[in-house]
């Protein structure tokens, strides 16, 4: 076994059907009394229902969370938190909502309780993001790590098939890159392989029956593991490309899903052990092709061309990715990266 460094992050996880009923006890545990409830505009009704379990302790609602945390909306949320003297944020939703909790925590230090309702995995990481003027800035800060995470699959039964599948593949992408991260370790690899196994088994069952509570629970388990894997290891070429394409306005989870099999194909021969473990977790002979087939079976878009990518931008994206690459098993070079992007643009089977 090679030398490694493992960092454990302090977070408390309350997992299982019906556990959102434990939110009042978790708020008490943090000794907070003035909660700011955060959601996206569409999830207000669910959040109101949850807020009823906290009589006298909800100081305000912010229901304007949006993808990639645009700075103007974040400032509005921060001002609201300050003006109502909030002492805790409860973020109920996907990566966008949790991202708002983190953005508030970044400048105020307020504790965040996350109640994830997608599979983004953001609730387990110290990674924050903000976007300004079309550019997304990210960083890592222990302050933004949610103190408590409540995973209750009952809250996810209305998550539409397209969002379920795409955010599930976003979580699988975290696990894939953790398996070949330059700073990976055996513990994270265990979690990554198990995360892929749980998600690859759950997502097809969810697409068949959106109300399958067992499948939803398995997917939340997988996304927890996925978030935990990227919380302490570095991401590589795949995430770099998705950050570049996200900056060009492409939707987050769908971009991850489309790029993943092609980024894996790029790294295929340079990361044989990771590929072996991924193939085993999805019961496929070849890892990149197996991931591609899984996505196709989930009905996901397979071509960057179908989610708003302009062909004329492929070269620019390849140049940005190659100029400031993240550490990656195979050397990141302009020509091969452009070919990867062209394959993703056309949706070619690896
Ligand atoms: P999202 O949070 O944007 O949610 C997608 C849509 O699904 C929204 O319209 C939301 O209202 C809706 N939704 C959420 N839960 C629902 C439910 N239970 N039922 C019905 N509808 C529901 O999407 P996402 O993929 O979870 O998150 C993407 C964002 O998360 C991006 O901004 C990305 O950068 C960020 N992210 C951050 C990290 C991190 O570690 N910081 C990790 C992954 C993703």
Q: DSSP letter string over 288-311? A: HHHHHHHHHHTT----GGGGT--G
* Whole-angstrom distance, CA of residue 179 vs CA of residue 159: 28
> What is the residue with the minimal CA distance to atom 30 of ligand 1?
95
* Whole-angstrom distance, CA of residue 205 vs CA of residue 215: 6
pLDDT tens digits, one per residue of 289-306: 999 999 999 999 999 999
Q: Taking the CA of residue 61 as centre, how many other CA atoms within 13 Å lie in the half-sphere pointing to its CB?
A: 16
**Cα of 336 to ligand 1 centre, how many Å?**
31
**Cα of 40 to ligand 1 centre, how many Å?**
9
pLDDT tens digits, one per residue of 82-108: 999 999 999 999 999 999 999 999 999
pLDDT of residue 188: 96
**Cα of 95 to ligand 1 centre, how many Å?**
4
**Cα of 193 to ligand 1 centre, how many Å?**
23
Residue 48's Cβ-count burial label (10 Å; 0-12, 13-18, 19+) is middle
**Cα of 30 to ligand 1 centre, how many Å?**
25
Question: What region does 40 belong to: left with phi over 0, alpha with psi -120 to 50, or beta?
Answer: beta
Q: What are phi and psi of 42, to 5 degrees?
A: -75, -15
Contact (CB, 8 A) for 224 and 124? yes
Q: 3-state DSSP call for residue 350?
A: coil
Mutate to test the pocket of ligand 1, among 95, 149, 233 (most ligand atoms within 8 A of CB): 95
* Whole-angstrom distance, CA of residue 271 vs CA of residue 264: 9
Residue 162's Cβ-count burial label (10 Å; 0-12, 13-18, 19+) is middle
Contact (CB, 8 A) for 292 and 268? no
Contact (CB, 8 A) for 119 and 222? yes
Neighbours of 340 (CB within 10 A): 25
Mutate to test the pocket of ligand 1, among 9, 102, 118, 138 (most ligand atoms within 8 A of CB): 118
pTM assigned to the model: 0.95
Question: Which protein residues touch ligand 1 with a CB less than 6 Å away?
Answer: 40, 42-43, 67-68, 93-97, 99, 117-118, 120-122, 125, 127, 129, 155-156, 158-159, 163, 167, 170, 252-253
Atom of ligand 1 nearest to the CA of 43: 11
Contact (CB, 8 A) for 16 and 138? no
* Whole-angstrom distance, CA of residue 298 vs CA of residue 313: 28
> What is the residue with the minimal CA distance to atom 16 of ligand 1?
159
| Cα-based angle 325, 326, 332 (whole degrees, multiple of 5) | 50
* Whole-angstrom distance, CA of residue 77 vs CA of residue 64: 8
Quickly tell me which residue has 């990656």 as its tokens. 328
- Identify the segments of the chain with pLDDT beneath 70: 134
pLDDT of residue 134: 67
């Amino acid at each position: 076994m090679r030398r490694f460094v493992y960092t454990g992050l302090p977070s408390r996880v309350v997992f299982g059907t019906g556990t959102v009923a434990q939110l009042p006890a978790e708020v008490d545990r943090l000794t907070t009394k003035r909660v700011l409830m955060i959601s996206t505009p569409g999830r207000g009704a669910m959040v109101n229902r949850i807020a009823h379990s906290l009589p006298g302790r909800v100081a305000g609602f912010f229901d304007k969370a949006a993808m990639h945390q645009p700075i103007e909306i974040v400032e509005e949320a921060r001002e609201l938190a300050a003006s109502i003297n909030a002492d805790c944020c409860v973020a109920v939703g996907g990566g966008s909502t949790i991202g708002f909790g983190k953005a508030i925590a970044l400048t105020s230090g307020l504790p965040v309780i996350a109640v994830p309702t997608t599979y983004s995995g953001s609730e387990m990481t110290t990674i924050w993001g903000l976007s300004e003027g079309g550019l997304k800035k990210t960083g890592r800060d222990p302050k933004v790590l949610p103190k408590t995470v409540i995973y209750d699959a009952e809250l996810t039964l209305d998550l539409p098939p397209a969002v379920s599948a795409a955010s599930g593949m976003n979580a699988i992408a975290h696990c894939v890159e953790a398996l070949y991260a330059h700073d990976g370790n055996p513990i994270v690899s265990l979690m990554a392989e198990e995360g892929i196994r749980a998600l690859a088994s759950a997502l097809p069952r969810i697409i068949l029956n959106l109300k399958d509570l067992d499948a939803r629970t398995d997917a939340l388990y997988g996304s927890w593991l996925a978030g935990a894997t990227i919380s302490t290891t570095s991401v590589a070429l795949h995430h770099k490309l998705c950050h570049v394409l996200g900056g060009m306005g492409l939707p987050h989870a769908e971009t991850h899903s489309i790029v993943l099999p092609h980024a894996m194909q790029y790294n295929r021969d340079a990361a044989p052990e990771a590929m072996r473990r991924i193939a085993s977790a999805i019961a496929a002979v070849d890892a990149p092709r197996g991931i591609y087939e899984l996505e196709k079976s989930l009905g996901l878009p397979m071509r960057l061309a179908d989610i708003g990518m302009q062909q004329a931008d492929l070269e620019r994206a390849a140049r940005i990715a190659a100029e400031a690459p993240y550490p990656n098993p195979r050397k990141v070079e302009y020509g091969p990266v452009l070919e990867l992007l062209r394959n993703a643009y056309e949706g070619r089977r690896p």
